[in-house]
Amino acid sequence: MECDVLVIGSGPGGYRAAVLAALRGLGTVIVEEATWGGCCLNRGCVPKKDWYHTARVLDSQRHFEKRGIVGGLRGDLAQAWRHQRKVVTAVRASYQSYLKRLGVTAIEGHARFQDQNTAVVEPSGGIISPRAVIIATGSAPHIPEGLVVTPGRILHSDLLFDEPVPEGARVVIVGGGVVALEFAYILHAFGREVLWLARQDPFARGEFSTPAMKLLKTTMADAGLTPIRAGARTLAATDAGVSVTTTDNEVLTADWALLATGRRPVTEGLDLARAGARLDTHGYIVVDAEMHAAGTAIYAIGDCVAGPMTANRALYEAGVAIDNILAPGSHKRDLRRVPEAVYSAIELARVGLTEEQAEDEGHEPGVGFAAFETSPRALGQDEPEGYVRLIADLDSGALLGGEVLGTDAGELIHMLTASPSLGALRRIAGAGFNHPSRSEEFQNAVETLAAKWNLQGYVFGVGDGAQDAS
């Protein structure tokens, strides 16, 4: 079989690559070995956000009485599991239907390279001769040495969505990353007692500012979630549940355990060397700024490439790869344009440079700030925690980055990703906003920044900086 583009893997990056290729008139084949939609759809972003929404509804009942709502809510995690399955099934059906309508050929099986121009799909033995290949094979849970997954007792995050959640009210979560942060909050909101082991400090994340981490730590503590600063030396299933010996030699017992101990790239069995691609010391496919993995026609995107393991990055890199297939050398990856978000006791989202990164790149950064504590919309929602924080270059007036904390931060961050950095502040300052709304705080932050750092010319189109910021 000949085609213009072969996509290996159907997660968010692979799916978008196949869609973009077909929309631009390329004959496209996509091969998936496991479940269509990859981790994000089946065991990650989609079902987890479904649970997070329910967790926020449950959490909101602390405001019920003063809002005039009588009664309380109780979480049913078994029903929540069934609900996310329905959502995932519906999304997957829509996804597969769209690929079919676009004329994308979908093949189930394991693809491996015979050479740079040929791939074989097993077990059928079908041969595909593509003009270009995009590898989007994703990642799998990393299980530290000495810890053993036991169905129904010791799970990783993938298994949590594959089978109904184990019964039992006491849960051990092992890990200090984003997945642990999110599941600790979700399971607690559903009424589980959470014992959280975090060898690394989950509130020391360099990509977010110190004020952001401080507020996250406060909101988690207010929710009753404080990590035990130790790891799991041993973790074993017992007749009654699980037993954990921490690195501090404390013995804990629970009904079940969740391992949120990171992920590893899935790159085995592709015979990458035959295609001329190579792996780094951690098993990631090595690519250049145009997402080339080998020669001029083999690309790799998403979790199988080193970088933040997010669907956001995979989706963005799919666009980079397709652009370069159509017009070689036309698009270089710039991860500063890709937002990151955390969904826990408070939502956090960011994009672009931090102040420290801006200084390292030779900028003179200034900060604009607007808190939700005075927002009529936020006060009316009983959710005044959080803020909008913008970082701009004081010499050019360019927007360098930004951070949003609070309700709907993951949606609001797109105010900063939808337009180029130079001139973005002026567009925000001159835009019309619905009132009352949380998005108004972007305009307030811009106006504060302009006044504080004497950027009125850049922001409002007057004075010496007006032309530079257009």
pLDDT the model gives residue 470: 40
pLDDT the model gives residue 140: 96
What residues have CB less than 8 Å from 146, skipping those under 6 apart? 233, 234
Distance between CA atoms of 33 and 13, rounded to whole angstroms? 15
Q: Where are the domains of the chain?
A: 2-141+264-336, 154-261, 346-460
- For the segment 133-174, what is each residue's pLDDT rounded down to a tens digit? 999 999 999 999 889 999 999 999 999 999 999 999 999 999
Instruction: Tell me which H or E stretch contains 13.
Output: helix 12-23
Q: Residue 387 corresponds to which tokens in the numbers above?
A: 């803020």
pTM of the model: 0.95
Whether 156 sits among the annotated catalytic residues: the reply is no
325 phi and psi angles, rounded to 5 deg: -70, -40
Q: How many residues belong to the chain? A: 470
- For the segment 213-252, what is each residue's pLDDT rounded down to a tens digit? 999 999 999 999 999 999 999 999 999 999 999 999 999 9
pLDDT the model gives residue 421: 75
Nearest to 265 by CA among 142, 112, 161: 142
Looking at 1.10.1040.10, 3.30.390.30, 3.40.50.150, 3.90.25.10, the CATH number of the domain 346-460 comes to: 3.30.390.30
Q: 154-261: CATH homologous superfamily?
A: FAD/NAD(P)-binding domain (3.50.50.60)
Distance between CA atoms of 166 and 255, rounded to whole angstroms? 8
Whether residue 12 contacts residue 316, with contact meaning beta carbons closer than 8 Å, is answered with: no
Whether residue 169 contacts residue 192, with contact meaning beta carbons closer than 8 Å, is answered with: yes
Distance between CA atoms of 75 and 73, rounded to whole angstroms? 7
Same fold: 2-141+264-336 with 346-460: no
pLDDT the model gives residue 278: 95
Catalytic pick among 110, 292, 363, 435: 435
What residues have CB less than 8 Å from 322, skipping those under 6 apart? 5, 17, 20, 21, 24, 134
Q: 2-141+264-336: CATH homologous superfamily?
A: FAD/NAD(P)-binding domain (3.50.50.60)
Q: Residue 412 corresponds to which tokens in the numbers above?
A: 């609001």
Distance between CA atoms of 156 and 161, rounded to whole angstroms? 9
CB neighbourhood size of 163 (10 A): 11
What DSSP designation does 310 have?
-
CA angle 391, 392, 395 (to 5 degrees): 150
Nearest to 105 by CA among 28, 172, 41: 28
Q: Is 281 helix (H, G, I), strand (E, B) or coil?
A: coil
User: Whole-number mean pLDDT of the chain?
Assistant: 95
Nearest to 344 by CA among 227, 219, 224, 205: 219
Q: Residue 426 corresponds to which tokens in the numbers above?
A: 């002026």
For the chain (length 470 residues), average pLDDT per consecutive 10?
98 98 98 96 96 97 95 96 98 97 98 96 96 98 92 94 94 96 97 95 90 96 94 93 95 97 96 96 97 95 97 98 97 95 98 94 96 98 97 94 97 88 88 97 96 89 54
